[in-house]
Amino acid sequence: MTEQLAAVEAALGAWVAPVGSTPPSLAEPMRYAVLDGGKRLRPLLVLAASQAVSGEPEAAMRAACAVELIHAYSLVHDDMPCMDNDVLRRGKPTVHVRYGQASAMLAGDALQALAFELLTPEGGLVPMAMQASLCRMLARAAGGQGMAGGQAIDLASVGLAISSEQLHEMHKLKTGALLLASVMMGAACGSPSAQAQAALSDYGAAMGLAFQVVDDILDVTADSQTLGKTAGKDAAQDKPTFVSLMGLQASRNYAQELLSQAQASLRHSQLPDTRALWALADKLVHRAF
């Protein structure tokens, strides 16, 4: 996993607004938003899924970075004063604190476009049909029926009493869609059987949900320094969370149950090598930040 992580960092460093490609006043906040930080969970999921289906390495690395760019842009916009108004991210000042709001907004916008650019290289590096599939999956996961839709529900639900069902639906979109897309985009770099595809989809859905449950747990149990972002934010903003809805211990049990579900899906997939996916599931649920 250390090796994969280093490869992702190197690829992001090479592909995100390299010198000469982009006006410096935009390239700087773009690189600041993406490089030198982050757990790279989504890229690792892409690569692990691709490995499980013996996917095309070039396509997988591009998909891995594209997903991370969507994630990074969403954090930049989410942190802005009109949204969460946060000043700390990955242990550093947020992009708008460092570069101003206008540059932060533009950098986020440009990162989203760059994600689709990475997926569509010229020169036969990635089969055209695969490019189109990857773009489709990423666009759906990022947009109004995915991440952005979930953020809108989140925004509209602050201070409201929402049901467990509504909370699940919100997170399925807000964080789940992109995590699921990470797994399925990795799978789309190869040609898995229908059974394997369904199993990976179940795995990705369970992981998406588990991620959010653990996030909610860490928000109340970890400190800001460990998290690299402001802790206790959800309670302070009166946001509904799994912990506020079902309590801390039940949330922990639920995360463990989702991990078991994800691992059961991998067993059902009949894929020969799901070790990396297995390890990532374990890491995701047992992470400390």
- Binding interface with a second copy (CB under 8 A): 17, 21-23, 25-27, 30, 73-74, 77, 80, 82-83, 100-103, 105-106, 108-110, 112-117, 119-122, 128-129, 131-133, 135-136, 138-140, 142-146, 148-149, 151-153, 155-156, 173
Using DSSP's 3-state secondary structure scheme, residue 89 falls into strand
Task: Compute the least distance from the CB of residue 71 to a second copy, in Å.
Answer: 13
CB atoms within 10 A of CB 225: 11
CB atoms within 10 A of CB 273: 12
Please state, in angstroms and rounded to a whole number, the distance separating the CA atoms of residues 40 and 56.
20
Task: Compute the least distance from the CB of residue 218 to a second copy, in Å.
Answer: 24
Task: Compute the least distance from the CB of residue 124 to a second copy, in Å.
Answer: 11
Burial 79-102 (b: 16+ CB within 10 A, else e): bbeeebebebbbebebbbbebeee
Residue whose CB is less far from a second copy, 179 or 285: 179
Residue whose CB is less far from a second copy, 97 or 246: 97
Residue whose CB is less far from a second copy, 13 or 144: 144
At residue 256, what is the residue type? Q
Residue whose CB is less far from a second copy, 14 or 288: 14
Partners of residue 92 on adjacent β-strands: 89
Task: Compute the least distance from the CB of residue 168 to a second copy, in Å.
Answer: 14
Residue whose CB is less far from a second copy, 191 or 270: 191
Task: Compute the least distance from the CB of residue 91 to a second copy, in Å.
Answer: 24
Residue whose CB is less far from a second copy, 4 or 112: 112
- H-type helices in 85-146, by residue range? 95-99, 101-118, 128-142
Decide the pairing of beta strands 92-93 and 88-89: antiparallel
Task: Compute the least distance from the CB of residue 233 to a second copy, in Å.
Answer: 16
Please state, in angstroms and rounded to a whole number, the distance separating the CA atoms of residues 98 and 38.
18
